[in-house]
Structure 1
Amino acid sequence: MRATTPLFTATIIATLLPTAARAAEPTPGTVLAAYTVLAPNRQGATVAIARAIVQGAESPCPRLIPVTGPGSAVATTARNNPDPANFPIRVCEAIVTASMQVDGSRQRVPGLPRKAGAVSVVGDSGCKPADQDGCRLGSKAWPFQQIAHSAAAAKPDLVVHMGDYNYRGTPGQVSINGVRQPVYDAGDNTGSVSCQLAGPYHGQNSQGSADPDRWQDWWLDLFQPAADLLAAAPWVVARGNHELCSRAGPGWFYLLDPGSDLAGVETGQAVCPAAESSEPLVFGAPYRIDLPGLALLVVDSANACDQGELHQAHFDQQFREVQRLLGNSPDPALVALVSHRPLSAVRKADASTAPGDSDRSGAYAIIDQTLQRAYRKYPLPRPVDLVLSGHMHRFQAIGFSRASQAPYPDQLVVGNSGVSLAHNHPAKPFSLPIDGLTGSGFGLSKFGYMEIAPGGKHGWKGTLRNPAGKPLASCEGGKGATKTGPCTPKK
């Protein structure tokens, strides 16, 4: 049995207290969360940005103190708060190399990892209260806290989150000046197969919205349940469609996005434009994270329509930039593309499936059309070994025959770490044509997370685990696909 950390135990105890006992707002200056995100600097090297969230939008930023050794304390700088009324907190940050402690608290921030021998992958971890037992911490209907604890207990070198962190605060419809309106979601939550943004832009953060993005929802869906995993290792974060500017985008750019105004960081902090502006959307630029034995190419696919051609030009440009990032870099042991929306995955076909977007049998719809078109237009100068994604609220693994000169990489969809599961995946191991290639794999609708170990010669091994850490499937890539794809379910 894995050891229980004090932080995990304290959180469990807190959930058992009467509501009145835990309703009091923390004292200004209280450190609520501490974590580290990885980002590139202007020279292309990877840096670790340590962040601390403190109660009170005007609270002073704390120092970071070395955990061991005689090193100097590091001052932190406040990020630009997009909405102090709905985010009554201050996010403070600094670049660090080693693990540090946040002054005045017991919270620690991880430093820059020296290796990437063990990677924990989670995705789609937030909760829908109406569907998931009210989103109680520790509930079997929403096991993200247990997943975070189990993943942290394995002491990963790196955590990769595939996006969609906040569901309870991102409804599909909102009241704007008293009128219910659908929220723009890049083709999701509609029956449209064309993914067209019809009519005016409506979102949670539109003027007159009764349900804007709020800190409390981020706290409840991510920072409270994930405390163990935030402390365990630095994170690489993908932006999901629930982090669009029409949804939880303000919180995403304030709390998680690796853009920062700290000196040397490649991209400055972004903010969501007003929903009523002529350009209300943000398309983050791809970037590369380099660690010993591993390179991650991170693509912002939040606005990439599962079907249709909306925003196609933006994603063509993204893959043109991925070409450059991959072509101008050293050759590490494993290259993985990180994208919330899958490059290649399948779901059950339905009335919304456009002609030509299904397999030959017509049983399965193939996504993501937008990313596939961009991938074909800008083929990569050398192979990517693995694509890591979420979005589909299940686990899915697909491998491709290596007979082609430019095959699709192995695809893992890790979208099963918290949100209510979808059950329209292929129920048994399958094989079907995708873009002229034969894709083989299987899907699983069980909560869990993925552990991946990069290997030599662009290989990798992985284990899909349930919330308690028990294996659900074993996976391996880099040596050619089998008839059931890169993963085999545990019997």
Structure 2
Amino acid sequence: MNTQQRTIYLGGFTLASAAALLALHGCGGSDADEASRSGYIQSAFVMVGTKNEAIARVITNYVPPVSGGAQAACPQISVDGNVSRMSLRVAPSNPALRPTASAPEDSKPSTFPVSVCEQTLPASAKDVSVAGQSLPLPKADPQRIVVFGDSGCRLKKADNAWQACGDTAAWPFEKVANAAAAFSPDLVLHVGDYHYRENACPPDVAGCKNSPWGYGWDTWQADLFKPAAKLLAKAPWVMVRGNHEECARAGQGWFRFLDPQPFSDARSCDLAANDATANYSDPYAVKLGSDSQVIVFDSAKNGKAALKPEDTQFAIYQKQFQQVATLAAKGGVANSIFTNHHPILAFAPIAGAKPAQANPFMQSVMTSLYAQAYYPPGVNLALHGHVHDFQAISFKSGQTATIVSGTAGDNLDVALPDPLGADVVPAPGAIVDHISHHASFGFLLMEHRAKPSTGWSFKAYTADGKLLATCLQEGYSLSCDKTGFLTP
């Protein structure tokens, strides 16, 4: 067509106005259809799978005509101009109430009135969109990675804990996510615990009045997908499972929305009889360029007390740490970073008392394989959440350096004592060289250091984007420009 716009009339509409209407609804061209209207899309994002593949996920509330079948609920996806319909991961469902971590009278069945659709993207993909929304794609050599965890708003009767979910000072996750998005990261690593609204807000607590609760879609939407919308649109995510996503809690939503593996009834958490399978997932590695990788480990059922060799969980986790060793020994990888939800060589703060060792449970398994090194050779750094503070720890005794970043939104823990005291250790034989720590909301920004280094820098930020400390990793060591308690 030449520069002079040609007008064609179609039943009272010009071709240009018809195209504008299609664009308004997130559709375009002859491939447009009802399921691809943007108004139905509740969330669209990209995650990294167990084989380093990019997976586009879409949550939609479009209900197709009966004649169309469940698959017709999925929108079309454009990959470098090639349009196809996404595959249905799981259809809307209302599973029966299963045993939960809360008493039956404080629980309700989960309702999922949405379809989850997905598509594995080719590594060569350059431009991907759904309903007119461009999706972020993984970079072969990511330079900037946001790390945080423990992001949801806590509503828990057993703890009498009722966070003010509508108050951005009391629950600042949206602020944290938006501040992180402003750094234009190449990747986001969420280290677990996305969902915290387990029980109904009491009528006399104004701060959480009318909040959704339970484990269904409305709560997942409120705790994760709405507040993190800008960050989900900015970069692909690596999803780590936390204890709040185990089957007796928010596991049903975890498998529908975030788990990187194919969905199946046996791994849905809908039936408690399948929990022994669904509560455990094999570790996998995500490449971070040519010389680094992050090894993702599912510790959803991490307990508190040390395990015995005859315990069922001991054998499960022992096998999985042997798999970690195999992943860390992969040729050509100079820097393996381990990530799971529960800290292993870190501290659990206790108000008015000496901090506790964070994880005797997992330490008991790891020492059976690697003695007081705890991790297999090649694991240089560990990233965790679960403890709601920031800790960056390096060891005189040579263990893997550790960072905890569990400050994205849920109620903070008390600060660690400062100084710690020479007799305070996170695990037998692990002697702290130095520690930097704080107890304020925020996130971590991980950046690749210039060669010849194979390490990364880690910058701790507050929810307002204020830099608190910078730590440099090289091999097993971690050096920070500030040590002790960091004041926001």
- Tell me the TM-score normalised to structure 1 length: 0.74
1:269-348 counterparts in 2 under 5 A? 270-272=267-269, 274-276=271-273, 279=276, 282-292=279-289, 293-309=291-307, 311-327=313-329, 329-348=330-349
Residues 160 and 235 in structure 1, CA contact (< 8 A), matched pair in contact too: yes
2:116 to 91, 98, 121: 91
Letter paired with 1:223: F
Instruction: Provide the residue aligned with 1:107 in structure 2.
Output: 133
1:466-485 counterparts in 2 under 5 A? 466-478=462-474, 480-481=477-478
**Equivalents in 1 of 2:354, 2:61: separation in Å?**
51
1:462 to 458, 461, 469: 458
2:86 to 59, 73, 76: 76
Residues 470 and 481 in structure 2, CA contact (< 8 A), matched pair in contact too: no
Residues 304 and 315 in structure 1, CA contact (< 8 A), matched pair in contact too: no
Rate the CA distance shift 1:443–1:230 in 2: closer, same or farther, 3 A: same
Q: Secondary structure at the match of 1:314?
A: helix
Rate the CA distance shift 1:82–1:425 in 2: closer, same or farther, 3 A: farther
Deviations 1:310-345 (CA, angstroms, capped at 9, x unpaired): 622221111011112222x23335311010001211
Instruction: Provide the residue aligned with 1:217 in structure 2.
Output: 219
2:53 to 10, 32, 47: 47
1:338-417 counterparts in 2 under 5 A? 338-348=339-349, 363-379=354-370, 382-401=377-396, 404=397, 407-417=398-408
- TM-superposed deviation, 1:256: 0.3
Instruction: Provide the residue aligned with 1:155 in structure 2.
Output: 184
Rate the CA distance shift 1:452–1:488 in 2: closer, same or farther, 3 A: farther
1:102-141 counterparts in 2 under 5 A? 102-104=129-131, 106-128=132-154, 134-136=164-166, 139-141=168-170
Deviations 1:423-462 (CA, angstroms, capped at 9, x unpaired): 1523446653332131231331100000011335442211
Deviations 1:277-301 (CA, angstroms, capped at 9, x unpaired): 6847521111111131420111101
Instruction: Provide the residue aligned with 1:236 in structure 2.
Output: 238
Rate the CA distance shift 1:278–1:478 in 2: closer, same or farther, 3 A: closer
**Equivalents in 1 of 2:221, 2:151: separation in Å?**
13
- TM-superposed deviation, 1:269: 8.8
- TM-superposed deviation, 1:377: 2.3
User: What is the aligned-residue identity percentage?
Assistant: 31
Q: Which has the higher helix share?
A: 2
- TM-superposed deviation, 1:132: 6.3
- TM-superposed deviation, 1:239: 0.4
Residues 266 and 274 in structure 2, CA contact (< 8 A), matched pair in contact too: no
Residues 163 and 340 in structure 1, CA contact (< 8 A), matched pair in contact too: yes
Letter paired with 2:216: R
Rate the CA distance shift 1:268–1:36 in 2: closer, same or farther, 3 A: farther
Rate the CA distance shift 1:476–1:429 in 2: closer, same or farther, 3 A: farther
Rate the CA distance shift 1:133–1:435 in 2: closer, same or farther, 3 A: closer
> Are 1:61 and 2:70 counterparts?
no
Residues 294 and 333 in structure 1, CA contact (< 8 A), matched pair in contact too: yes
Q: Secondary structure at the match of 1:475?
A: strand
Deviations 1:149-188 (CA, angstroms, capped at 9, x unpaired): 11111111110001100111x3499xxxxxxxxxxxxxxx
Aligned length in residues: 400
Residues 288 and 298 in structure 1, CA contact (< 8 A), matched pair in contact too: yes
Rate the CA distance shift 1:133–1:99 in 2: closer, same or farther, 3 A: farther
- Residue segments in structure 1 that go unaligned for 5+ positions in a row: 1-26, 174-210, 262-266, 352-361
What is the Cα-based RMSD across aligned positions, in Å? 3.2
Rate the CA distance shift 1:325–1:133 in 2: closer, same or farther, 3 A: closer
**Equivalents in 1 of 2:387, 2:401: separation in Å?**
16
Q: Secondary structure at the match of 1:385?
A: strand
**Equivalents in 2 of 1:390, 1:373: separation in Å?**
20
Q: Secondary structure at the match of 2:272?
A: coil
Rate the CA distance shift 1:349–1:490 in 2: closer, same or farther, 3 A: closer
> Are 1:449 and 2:446 counterparts?
no
Q: Secondary structure at the match of 2:53?
A: strand
2:429 to 416, 432, 436: 436
Residues 428 and 443 in structure 1, CA contact (< 8 A), matched pair in contact too: no
Asked which structure has the greater CA Rg, the reply is: 2
Which stretch of structure 1 is more off in the superposition, 229-238 or 242-251? 229-238
- Residue segments in structure 2 that go unaligned for 5+ positions in a row: 1-36, 64-69, 96-110, 202-212
Q: Secondary structure at the match of 1:145?
A: helix
**Equivalents in 2 of 1:472, 1:213: separation in Å?**
35
